[in-house]
Structure 1
Amino acid sequence: MKMTVLSDDQNAFKEVFAEFKKENPNIDVQIDTIPQQQYYEKLRMQLSSGENIDIIGGNMDVFLDTGILEPLDDYIAKNKMDVSGFGPLYDNLKVNDKTYGLPYRKSNWMLYYNKTLFDEMKVPYPKADMTWDEFRDLAKKMTKGEGANKVYGAFLHPWAQTWYMQAVQTGASIIDKDLSPFKKGLQFRMDMEKDGSIMSWAEQITTNAHYNSAFQKGNVAMNVIGDWHVAQLRAAEQEKKISFDWDVVPIPHPAGVPANTSLATPVSLMLNKNSKNKDAAFQVIQFMTGAKGAKVFASKGFLTGYTNDDIRKAYIGDGSLKPKNIHYFVEQREYAEYPLLPGVKNIVLNNIYKQEGEMALTGAQTADQAIQKIGDRVQKEWADKYAKDYKNTKK
């Protein structure tokens, strides 16, 4: 039996499978991966050409329009799988009232900060309850120097999520008819660039700047990025690549929104409807996404889809590993980063928001013009094609 998973997750999957094997010695699984840049494109091609992959790992929405996913509801009922630990995610992931994937992890966002830089500049650490405006002021305070020696107050990766998250934190969706909440977030990023406290989008692209290497250099005070960065920083510490102290606090929030409100992207395991090993494959999915697998993933620093007190403890650990404030991750209130429907990621997010946002960030249009164009394009390029055929069970 074969499964293909994201490259960053492959080693953890091998450890979870070793636990599974203790209970199921007769089931063998080859755990493959594909380099991250080509992951979804190549995997879709492999599946459409009939390649023998039983279990698919990744963002469920990318595969919904292929017709390749087997609904899991009957397997869940037949195996009496306890789905209570998924909480609201279980229903939020249903499409047209069917379950096509179970989340083994979810990607929530956090603010990482370089404690050493704050200590050196004698500035108090970021607060756990901080508005975006307070974050902007703090980033200005932590910015100093010029050229190669410049210390940036913050790093916002070039992804559109780093500006549109402010609207999603209020409960807005990137396919809403009224996109006015999104203007504020885009304008905010543009204003921070003008402040000089973050690297401009244009400079990020020309220098190929990346949140991980930028933060590890030690000249970025705050980094707004997802939970996966914990594992990257821990690995860097083990390899003696970083010498500064660091910690996390919740991402800033819009005024009027509770502290520690994040956006989340569930990453799921799915069953290929053409698999010749469906029952055995579901056993693997059940173990890896359920309580037993989640405990192993959590101990490796993954924020799991399934959670209970044991899993929370495994995630938080014994306090010997950074970040000290890791508990904030398991206390978050979450909104889906985007609706998990076909085309939303590859059309709405990767094309429309990316292109129009970049036009604004390079000065070719205003934030108002960008959001107006995004609204028009979402209707023409996404809604007219998909909206009538797909619905989330819960919005």
Structure 2
Amino acid sequence: MKKIMNLALTGTLVAGLAAGCTPVKETSKEGTAKPAGESAKPVSLKMTVLPDDLDTFKLVFDEFKKENPNISVQLDTIPQQQYYDKLRLQLSSGDDIDLIGGNMDVFLDTGILEPLDDYIKKSNVDVSGFGPLYDNLKVNDKMYGLPYRKSNWMLYYNKTLFDKMNVPYPKADMTWEDFRELAKKMTQGEGANKMYGAFLHPWAQTWYIQAVQTGASIIDKDLTPFKNALQFRMDMEKDGSIMSWAEQITTSAHYNSAFQKGNVAMNLIGDWHIAQLRTAEQEKKINFDWDVVPVPHPAGVAPNTSLATPVSLMLNKSSKHKEEAFKLLQFMTTAKGAKIFAAKGFLTGYTNDDIRKAYIGDGSMKPKNIHYFVEQKEYPEYPLLPGIKNIVLNNIYKQEGEMALTKAQTADQAIQKIGERIQKEWADKYGKDFKAAAKK
């Protein structure tokens, strides 16, 4: 199973719907195409991206159009909770979407994705900036998308609350047990005025991150690390130092609004939260100081080890303008686009010294310790195999984990059922891949 993790990598959060159409230009410094004159044939493309990424995509388009005046782009998004289901439906119905943004695994079983290898070779794309991520994203030795960002996790903390409580800030080298004790220390009050030591969002990965940090896979035969991780979340609820899953659901609690309210000391979530907090500061919605440290780690695991989920741009096999669409895809995912995403607080798939500097900034913006993001050791959230996200993560782990968190079953029972359901609902359907993995 350790080897299968090297084959693959592959977040997420506000709602919104937007569309725009932007005339754009035609060359690429990385050698994508020949310069196009004013007489180049006009081409209209359509792209759908995640709502949190929409505004930054628009900024990148502004740069792209300076070099590609003959290409126009209609940029759409879909509310987060409906994003993948609705987009899959649109694509299967034949909607003329040229480029698709999101987690690649969701579309692997559709046959919709165009392999990019020939385009990459023809355009002399410098893939070195993607590092090991490039080969890890290949499926059966083919590349079906390029990552424009990746979602690595970090621990955000409210410095003002720690100062008020006269408690030392979280440390960069902190085990999960250290974190649990610190959360208990930072918890006080009752009811609506209660201050929680930490907030763990209802997503399954906020508890199983501990297992992934050890290099374990969600399709492993031995799921003991996941049982321990689920039990840990349940124990923290018993401590009263985090809001219970049941209360989160009944009150529609969300990591962003909960942390911005100012009564949560620590918040475990991904890199995208930086952009949300910076926007809140600009809009004067928060008045406390904050920073980040690495996610707590299991005993025996190196500090600053994180779960990661790359988010890619993909080309629709049915696109009528594949060359132009790939040109835009390349611009968005390599040096020029990545630098703009980095400057907006997104951890990019492609990186170099300029992009790292753009991400870290000049020190004038929070968080002060943003450098931890570019120093992380990353494990993929799940193997990049057909059906992993839809069947294993979204359904099995979510449903059985929630049954445990509502006390309808124990952590042992939940993980036993997860193992059984993986075999029945996923391994039977994708048996060849699973058996190959199991042998390793």
Partner of 2:97: 53
Identical positions, percent: 85
Equivalent in the alignment of 1:31:
75
Please give the alpha-carbon distance, in whole angstroms, between the structure 1 residues aligned to 2:136 and 2:102.
16
CA shift for structure 1 position 224: 0.2
List aligned pairs for 1:77-116, cutoff 5 A. Answer: 77-116=121-160
3-state DSSP of counterpart to 2:71: coil
For the pair 1:124 / 2:187, whether they are aligned, the reply is no
* CA distance, structure 2, for counterparts of residue 387 and residue 226 of structure 1: 32
Tell me the distance in 2 between the aligned counterparts of 1:53 and 1:340.
Answer: 23
2:191 corresponds to 1:143 = no
Separation of aligned partners in 2, 1:9 and 1:341: 25
- In the TM superposition, residue 29 of structure 1 has moved relative to its aligned partner by 1.3
Counterpart position of 2:53: 9
CA deviation after TM superposition for structure 1 residue 219, in Å: 0.4
SS at the partner of 1:171? coil
- In the TM superposition, what is the alpha-carbon distance from 1:88 to its structure 2 partner? 1.1
SS in 2 for 1:388: helix
Counterpart of 1:386 in structure 2 is 430
Counterpart selection for 1:208 from 245, 252, 256: 252
Equivalent residue number for residue 268 of structure 1: 312
The partner residue of 1:177 within 221, 231, 246 is 221
Q: Name whichever of 335-344 and 125-134 sits farther off.
A: 335-344
Q: TM-score, normalised by structure 1?
A: 0.98
Residue 43 of structure 1: how far off its partner (Å): 0.8
- State how far apart, in whole Å, the 2-side matches of 1:206 and 1:181 are: 29
Which residue in the other structure is 1:284 paired with? 328
- The residue type equivalent to 1:288 in the other structure is M
CA deviations 1:85-136 (Å, max 9, x no partner) are 1111111111111100100000000000000000000000000010000000
Q: Distance in 2 between matches of 1:160 and 1:229?
A: 18
SS in 2 for 1:255: coil
**Inter-CA distance 208–89: structure 2 relative to 1 (3 Å threshold):** same
Whole-angstrom CA distance in 1 between matches of 2:197 and 2:244? 13
CA displacement, residues 19-63 of structure 1 (integer Å, 9 cap, x when unaligned)? 111122222211111111111111111111111111011000111
Whole-angstrom CA distance in 1 between matches of 2:144 and 2:308? 18
Deviates more, 1:340-349 or 1:328-337: 340-349
In the other structure, the counterpart of 2:37 is none
Q: CA–CA distance in 1 between the matches of 2:159 and 2:399?
A: 35
- State the 1:341 CA deviation: 2.0
Match of 1:247 among 266, 285, 291: 291
Q: Deviations over 1:185-233 (max 9, x none)?
A: 1010011001000011111111111000100110000000000100111
1:21 aligns with 2:65: yes
The correspondence for 2:409, drawn from 342, 346, 365, is 365
In 2: Cα distance, 1:308 partner to 1:380 partner: 44
CA deviations on 1:123-172 (whole Å, 9 max, x unpaired) are 00000010000000000000001111110000000111011000100000
Distance, in Å, in 2 between the alignment partners of 1:124 and 1:133 is 16
Whether 1:199 aligns to 2:270 is no
**Secondary structure of the residue that 2:112 maps to in structure 1?**
coil
- Where 2:429 maps in the other structure, the secondary structure is helix
2:338 to 272, 294, 299: 294
The reply to whether residue 74 of structure 1 matches residue 118 of structure 2 is: yes
Cα distance in 2, alignment partners of residues 389 and 115 from structure 1: 47
- SS where residue 302 of structure 1 aligns? coil
Instruction: Report how far residue 351 of structure 1 moved.
Output: 0.9
* Corresponding letter in the other structure for 1:242: I
Following TM superposition, by how much is the alpha carbon of 1:387 offset from its aligned partner in structure 2, in angstroms?
3.9
CA contact (8 A) 2:385 2:433 kept: no
* Whole-Å separation in 1 of the counterparts to 2:386 and 2:426: 9
Q: In the alignment, what sits opposite 2:13?
A: none
CA contact (8 A) 2:304 2:375 kept: yes
Task: State the one-letter code of the partner of 1:53.
Answer: I
Among candidates 54, 63, 80, match of residue 107 of structure 2: 63
Alignment RMSD: 1.2
Q: How far off its partner does 1:247 sit?
A: 0.4
Shift, 1:389, TM fit: 5.4
Residue 2 of structure 1 aligns to a residue whose secondary structure is: strand
Q: Distance in 1 between matches of 2:90 and 2:127?
A: 30
For residues 250-270 of structure 1, the C-alpha deviation after alignment (integer angstroms, 9 at most, x for no partner) is 000001101100010000000
- Distance in 1 (CA, whole Å) between partners of 2:383 and 2:253 is 28
Instruction: Give how far 1:340 is off.
Output: 2.1
Letter in 2 for 1:43: L
Q: Determine the structure 1 residue equivalent to 2:267.
A: 223
Map of 2:20 onto structure 1:
none
2:138 partner letter: K
Partner SS state of residue 220, structure 1: coil
* Structure 2: distance between partners of 1:167 and 1:315: 28
Secondary structure of the 2:276 match is helix
Moved over 3 A (4+): 389-392
Aligned residue pairs total 393
Letter in 2 for 1:107: S
How far apart are the structure 1 equivalents of 2:431 and 2:199? 35
